[in-house]
Structure 1
Amino acid sequence: MSPTSDTALLVIDAQESFRQRRDDWAATANPQVFDNIALLVGHARAAGDTVAWVTHAEPGTGGVFDPESGFVRVVAELEPRPGEIQVTKTTVNAFTSTNLQAQLAARGIRRLVVCGIRTEQCCETTARIAGDLGFAVEFVTDATTTSPIPAGPGYAALAGDELMRRTESVLGGREFATITSTARRVRDVATRPLSA
């Protein structure tokens, strides 16, 4: 189905690079993240929403985010379709180093639904920038995940689930985004009248 709404689902960094960081991935706060993203993608497609896939690359680093590694690709459980937006960023947010904003504008998108990896990093930063750009933003926390931050100079350790709750408080409480869940988003999409 071709996009027929003013809504886009942004799938941020749901890529193989993260699973290649095996110790980090083993500590992920939300092991169901890809299942929940798959539900959102299926329902977005059925509703005629745009699906936009964002991956993160660090060219020339020799690590798992270097395109030469072969891991800068959407995980096998999720598969972009021809015609869906696909961009690769080199910044934390999905806009600054890509033409994502122009592609969304060309499709008449006014509302963004954000999911992906990492909750408090690329997903939260993208949501903040999107709000500043004038998009209405929904943040689907249980379709995101992150890993713990160990203590460092001048900052405390935080568990992954604490980071996820903090992101909800910051985005929701400071009105950058409406916080929602996969189940609620799927229900809302299923009951939304289809655009003519």
Structure 2
Amino acid sequence: MRGPIARCALLLIDVQQGFKIMEQEGRSRNNASAEAHIARLLAAFRGVGARVIHVRHASLEPASLFRQGQPGFEAQDFARERAGEPVLLKTVNSAFIGTGLEERLRTGGIDSLVVAGATTNHCVETTLRMAANLGFNAQLVSDASWTFDLVGVHGESYPAELVHALSLANVHGEFGEVVTTAQVLAALAVAQDA
């Protein structure tokens, strides 16, 4: 977290039931404790009165787990919004496309984002890259995001932990800063005392 609490928001990307369903269907992922870290971040941001913005993927694909009206579209229970916390719906990878997110941030005086959620190499990384391109300070919380094993263009298999690590390497220093939950919580405590 950078700067005053009033200028920072926690941006939760696609913390939806569809990813739990994918796991139940046998998809292998990394960062099994990501949801617990997200819950800690949520509690901390809410505790100091900092802003929380929820983003959900609303797929346009008829058979998608993430299509509105499907059980996979719903937020995971621990990450449900509270009164006053906006929920933005996106249909593409970036939370900035078609959601009004940029205008909401600028109107609200927010210039710093703490980003967590799923999946690291898709919507989280895409959103972080675009945030940086739009001039926002962005931090990706490495232990509060996760991804799944990936099949390459020639059928090769890439484990989720490698995919996650490469995604972090892609953004760190170029499009934002990679941090841990503990670092964000410590920064929040310092900002609250300032």
Q: What CA deviation, in whole Å up to 9, does each residue of 1:7-38 have, x standing for no partner?
A: 01000000011112235665120111111001
TM-score, normalisation: structure 1: 0.90
Identity of aligned residues (%): 29
Find the counterpart in structure 1 of residue 165 from structure 2.
Answer: 165
Q: What CA deviation, in whole Å up to 9, does each residue of 1:169-195 have, x standing for no partner?
A: 11114x211110011111111122357
* Residues 110, 194 of structure 1: alpha-carbon distance in 2 compared, 3 angstrom cutoff: farther
Asked whether the 8 Å contact 2:5–2:188 carries over to 1, the reply is no
What CA distance in whole angstroms lies between the structure 1 residues aligned with 2:115 and 2:150?
A: 22
Quote how far apart the aligned CAs of 1:70 are.
3.2
Quote how far apart the aligned CAs of 1:104 are.
1.4
Asked whether the 8 Å contact 1:119–1:164 carries over to 2, the reply is yes
Deviating more after overlay: 85-94 vs 61-70: 61-70
Asked whether the 8 Å contact 1:19–1:25 carries over to 2, the reply is no
> What runs of 5+ residues in structure 2 fail to find an aligned partner?
none
Asked whether the 8 Å contact 1:89–1:98 carries over to 2, the reply is yes
Find the counterpart in structure 2 of residue 191 from structure 1.
Answer: 190
> What runs of 5+ residues in structure 1 fail to find an aligned partner?
none
Asked whether the 8 Å contact 2:29–2:161 carries over to 1, the reply is no
What CA distance in whole angstroms lies between the structure 2 residues aligned with 1:60 and 1:120?
A: 20
What CA distance in whole angstroms lies between the structure 2 residues aligned with 1:95 and 1:169?
A: 22
What CA distance in whole angstroms lies between the structure 2 residues aligned with 1:25 and 1:92?
A: 23
What CA distance in whole angstroms lies between the structure 1 residues aligned with 2:37 and 2:188?
A: 14
Secondary structure of the 1:83 match is: coil
Q: What CA deviation, in whole Å up to 9, does each residue of 1:59-110 have, x standing for no partner?
A: 3513311112133121012221111121010010101121111111221100
What CA distance in whole angstroms lies between the structure 2 residues aligned with 1:13 and 1:88?
A: 9
Residue 147 (str. 1) matches residue 141 (str. 2) = no
Matched residue pairs, number? 191
AA matched with 1:22? E
Deviating more after overlay: 74-83 vs 115-124: 74-83
Find the counterpart in structure 2 of residue 179 from structure 1.
Answer: 178
Q: What CA deviation, in whole Å up to 9, does each residue of 1:139-175 have, x standing for no partner?
A: 101100000102333x7432111111112211114x2
TM-score, normalisation: structure 2: 0.91
4+ residue runs of structure 1 moved beyond 3 angstroms? 22-26
Find the counterpart in structure 2 of residue 13 from structure 1.
Answer: 14
Secondary structure of the 1:11 match is: strand
AA matched with 1:187? A
Asked whether the 8 Å contact 1:24–1:147 carries over to 2, the reply is no
What CA distance in whole angstroms lies between the structure 1 residues aligned with 2:61 and 2:167?
A: 31
Residue 137 (str. 1) matches residue 138 (str. 2) = yes
